[in-house]
Amino acid sequence: MNNSTIACIFDLDGVLVDTAVYHYQAWKKLANSLGFDFSHAQNEQLKGVNRMRSLDMILDWGGITKTAAEKEELATLKNTWYVDMINKMSASEVLPGSQELLEQLKSRGVKIALGSASKNSGLILERTNLTHFFDAIVDGNSVTTSKPDPEVFLKGAELLKAAPEDCIVFEDASAGVQAAIAANMAVIAVGEAENLPGADLFIKDLSGVTVDELITLIAHKTENK
Ligand code: B16
Ligand code: MG
């Protein structure tokens, strides 16, 4: 197998950058304005979950019912606060090893896509100076279904002109790992095995990941089918 055979699809929040801290602050401000609190543990459950579904879960936790129009307003309000924060992001917030792995992939001619639930991915990539690495971007603006549905990753593979079985997904959320498995792709989980069942490999962050290791992972997966 050669370099050009494999392709990589990266989740954004929790894999390349840590925007969960900003989501937390914005959701907490919204919950507080509605009269209840919002914890870090609850924020963890929102990783990889799209904006409207996240709002539904938060309103449920607060025991609050809102109309569809009110929910649209609340989601927009939260997003305004969130965008104010991500507008101040810089390249220093890229998570350890991400820049190095993206550079390595690029220099070895491996195609790279983004597969994120966020509708703000364009702004985040721009602020952190990562946009130029990507051959394709699939995010919350271009999918109709959320992870664990495989749509986001299948679209990424299609845009890269890669077969799903040649793709490696990097994910930090359980819904994302399930989406990659449903897409018939290899998946490297950034996090602990107990939270991310089914992944092929578990890592703390992207530091030290090599292209050769990725090629071997795909070769083994193909052999064992
Ligand atoms: P937005 P990812 C996800 O990003 C976040 O993990 C999740 O917490 C957030 O609700 C979702 O994006 C939508 O974000 O409000 O910016 O559209 O992990 O899929 O890159
Ligand atoms: Mg994520």
Tell me the CATH number at 54.
1.10.150.240
Please compute the mean of the pLDDT values over residues 137-141 and round it to a whole number: 97
pLDDT tier at 222, thresholds 50, 70, 90: confident
The parent domain of residue 11 ranges over 3-18+92-223
Which residues are tagged catalytic? 11, 13
What is the number of the ligand 1 atom nearest to the C-alpha of 176? Answer: 19
pLDDT tier at 211, thresholds 50, 70, 90: very high
Please compute the mean of the pLDDT values over residues 75-102 and round it to a whole number: 98
Please compute the mean of the pLDDT values over residues 178-194 and round it to a whole number: 97
Residue 129 has pLDDT above 70, yes or no: yes
Whether 8 contacts 110, CB under 8 Å: yes
pLDDT tier at 57, thresholds 50, 70, 90: very high
- Which ligand has the nearest atom to the CA of 170? 2
- Which ligand has the nearest atom to the CA of 45? 1
Residue 103 has pLDDT above 70, yes or no: yes
Tokens representing 175? 């819904």
Please compute the mean of the pLDDT values over residues 37-55 and round it to a whole number: 95
Please compute the mean of the pLDDT values over residues 73-84 and round it to a whole number: 98
Which residue's CA is the closest to the ligand 1 atom numbered 12? 118
Residue 10 has pLDDT above 70, yes or no: yes
Residues flanking ligand 1, CB < 6 Å:
11-14, 23, 46-51, 54, 79, 116-120, 140, 173
Environment class of 209 (CB within 10 Å of its CB; exposed 0-12, middle 13-18, buried 19+)? buried
pLDDT tier at 179, thresholds 50, 70, 90: very high
Same domain (yes/no): 190, 171: yes
Same domain (yes/no): 12, 27: no
Same domain (yes/no): 154, 210: yes
Same domain (yes/no): 112, 169: yes
pTM (two decimals):
0.95
Total structural domains within the chain: 2
Please compute the mean of the pLDDT values over residues 100-112 and round it to a whole number: 98
Tokens representing 89? 């992001």
Same domain (yes/no): 52, 143: no
Mutate to test the pocket of ligand 1, among 10, 118, 124 (most ligand atoms within 8 A of CB): 118
Please compute the mean of the pLDDT values over residues 177-199 and round it to a whole number: 96
pLDDT given at position 1: 53
Same domain (yes/no): 77, 107: no
pLDDT tier at 196, thresholds 50, 70, 90: very high
pLDDT given at position 225: 73
Tokens representing 205? 């962050």
Same domain (yes/no): 99, 128: yes
Same domain (yes/no): 76, 101: no
Mutate to test the pocket of ligand 1, among 10, 15, 21, 23 (most ligand atoms within 8 A of CB): 23
Same domain (yes/no): 49, 140: no
Residue 168 has pLDDT above 90, yes or no: yes
Q: What is the C-alpha to C-alpha distance for residues 53 and 51, in angstroms, rounded to an integer?
A: 6
Whether 89 contacts 17, CB under 8 Å: yes
Residue found by looking up tokens 């959701």 in the block: 27
Nearest one of 40, 66, 39 to 52, comparing CA atoms: 66
Q: What is the C-alpha to C-alpha distance for residues 77 and 100, in angstroms, rounded to an integer?
A: 36
What is the number of the ligand 1 atom nearest to the C-alpha of 20? Answer: 8
Residue 125 has pLDDT above 70, yes or no: yes
pLDDT tier at 223, thresholds 50, 70, 90: confident
Q: What is the C-alpha to C-alpha distance for residues 113 and 11, in angstroms, rounded to an integer?
A: 9
Please compute the mean of the pLDDT values over residues 135-157 and round it to a whole number: 96
pLDDT given at position 187: 98
Tokens representing 76? 């927009």
3-class SS string, 65-121: CCCHHHHHHHHHHHHHHHHHHHCCCCHHHECCCHHHHHHHHHHCCCEEEEECCCCCH
188 in the Ramachandran plot: left (φ > 0), alpha (ψ -120 to 50) or beta? beta
Same domain (yes/no): 57, 114: no
Same domain (yes/no): 14, 78: no
Whether 62 contacts 35, CB under 8 Å: yes
What is the number of the ligand 1 atom nearest to the C-alpha of 119? Answer: 17
pLDDT given at position 149: 96
